[in-house]
Amino acid sequence: MDEAGTPIEEVIASIEEAKKKDLTYDHILSSMCTDPHPIAVHAHVRFIESNLGDSGLFPGTKEIEGRVIEMLASLLNYPSGTEPAAYLTTGGTESNIQAVRVARNLKNTDKPNIVIPASAHFSFDKIGDILRVELRKADVDNDLKVDIASVESLIDENTVGLVGIAGTTEFGQIDPIKELSDVALREGIYLHVDAAFGGFVIPFIEEKYDWNFKVEGVSSITIDPHKMGMSTIPSGGLFFRRQEDMDELSIDTPYLSTKQQYSLTGTRSGGAAAGTYAVLKHLGMRGMREVVQECIRLTRILVEEAASFGIYPVINPVMNVVALEVPDIDAVVVGLMRRGWRVSISRVPRALRLVIMPHISEETLRLFIDDFRDTIKG
């Protein structure tokens, strides 16, 4: 830090310089985040100083967190008549860490392992390291859903939990959660569903899936408002079927205004909770459905147009994530980048991964398709 301060105008000028280097979302097809809804931004700024980590000081924000939890609980088919055991996290990584932490603590073993799909998000690699839990990666089938026989073959007496993904990061696929639940119930094992992305998509698409608390063996769910929920960052949600499971996370907080804390972080953004509340309250189910269905419509256009120049998806998209089989993929990615687009590559199989988020308009998509066609032909 400099000894002397800097006049506000100069500080603003210097942050604006940095801002200019940032990309805007409109040409980004690689991210699961998007421009937050303006009402979310308004609410976030209004609650900018609020700390849910010391919520006794911010009872209004705590009330808002409760309302968000109620709204998310309805998306997740949380058993009615019970107050949800849940809190708002910083996102999918924190939620997944905390869920696996619970699963590990519930089972008495020195050598804990969890069985996750090979398609799981890399947050689980962090989890293995942080929590000292062995990761056992189950194969996926031709549709890139976790293979139940492979899951079963990896379970042993030290298995503390199974994980299913409802909306995989790379392919937008939904694992067979009902089948995983059957295994979990039979073996008496914890089952966590990572719906960080899909949690805000699956309730709004035509096809119906078993993926949430309606499925008996599901113990906990991750759902992220800062992805398809169009909230401000950081906004995640973590839900437990049983309060006693969440209690495994409880830490005494002697000098704060509240007596206990469940979250991984201490200080926690009240702004993001308010942002989430505002956007969900404003859009309602109908508004969210419109947003999701528009993303799905554009995804279909992309798939159809790509087929017209001989490019096909690895799997038929289930949601607004497409992985396209593209020859000479590295060159195509570079070519698209030169034209201003940001795209990404899936791990296995290697394919061009595109996420059609709410910031992509039909006009932008058609510009992308033109550039994509030229790049492929070029």
Please give the residue ranges that form the binding site for ligand PLP (CB under 6 A): 32, 91-93, 96, 121, 123, 165, 169, 194, 196-197, 224, 236
Q: Which is nearer to ligand PLP, 169 or 219 (by Cβ)? A: 169
Q: How far is the CB of 286 from ligand PLP (least distance, A)?
A: 25
Shorter beta-carbon distance to ligand PLP: residue 169 or 375: 169
> Distance (Å, rounded) from C-alpha 20 to C-alpha 8?
18
Pick 90 or 159: Cβ nearer ligand PLP = 90
Which ranges of the chain does DSSP label H, i.e. alpha helix? 8-21, 38-46, 59-75, 92-106, 123-131, 148-154, 177-187, 243-247, 270-308, 329-338, 362-377
Comparing CB distances to ligand PLP, the nearer of 95 and 261 is 95
Token pair recorded at residue 49: 């100083």
Q: Closest separation between CB of residue 23 and ligand PLP, Å?
A: 17
Give the integer Cα–Cα distance in Å for 64 and 76: 18
For the packed helices 270-308 and 38-46, what is the interaxial angle rounded to 10 degrees?
A: 160
Between 121 and 136, CB nearer to ligand PLP:
121
Least distance in angstroms from the C-beta of 169 to ligand PLP: 3
CA atoms within 13 A on the CB side of 146: 33
Q: Report the C-alpha gap between 358 and 291 in whole angstroms.
A: 7
Kindly state the smallest distance separating residue 225's Cβ from ligand PLP, in Å. Answer: 10
**Nearest alpha-carbon partner for 319 in 232, 178, 211:** 211
- Closest distance to ligand PLP from the beta carbon of 175 (Å): 11
CB of 224 to ligand PLP, least distance (A): 5
Residue number with CB closer to ligand PLP (324 or 357): 357
The residue (of 54 and 194) whose beta carbon lies closer to ligand PLP is 194
User: Residue 97 or 155: which CB sits closer to ligand PLP?
Assistant: 97
> Exposed (0-12), middle (13-18) or buried (19+): which is 267, by Cβ within 10 Å?
exposed
Residue 27 and residue 342 in contact, taking contact as beta carbons nearer than 8 Å:
yes
Q: Which of residues 167 and 217 has its CB atom nearest to ligand PLP in the complex?
A: 167
> Is the CB of 97 or the CB of 376 nearer to ligand PLP?
97
Q: Minimal distance in Å, beta carbon 197 to ligand PLP?
A: 4
- What is the rounded distance in angstroms from the CA atom of residue 272 to the CA atom of residue 265? 14
Contact 191, 162 (CB under 8 A): yes
Nearest-approach distance from CB 199 to ligand PLP, in angstroms: 9
Question: Cis omega before residue 313 (within 30°)?
Answer: no
For the bound state, the minimum distance from the C-beta of residue 90 to ligand PLP, rounded and expressed in Å, comes to: 7
Complete DSSP assignment for 24-35 = PGGGB-S-S--P
> Reading across the β-sheet that carries 344-345, which strands appear in turn?
312-313, 321-325, 352-355, 344-345
270-308 and 362-377 helices cross at what angle (nearest 10)? Answer: 50
| Residue 33: CB minimum distance to ligand PLP, A | 8
User: What DSSP string describes 103-162?
Assistant: HHHHS--SS-EEEEETT--THHHHHHHHHT-EEEEEPB-TTSPBPHHHHHHH--TTEEEE
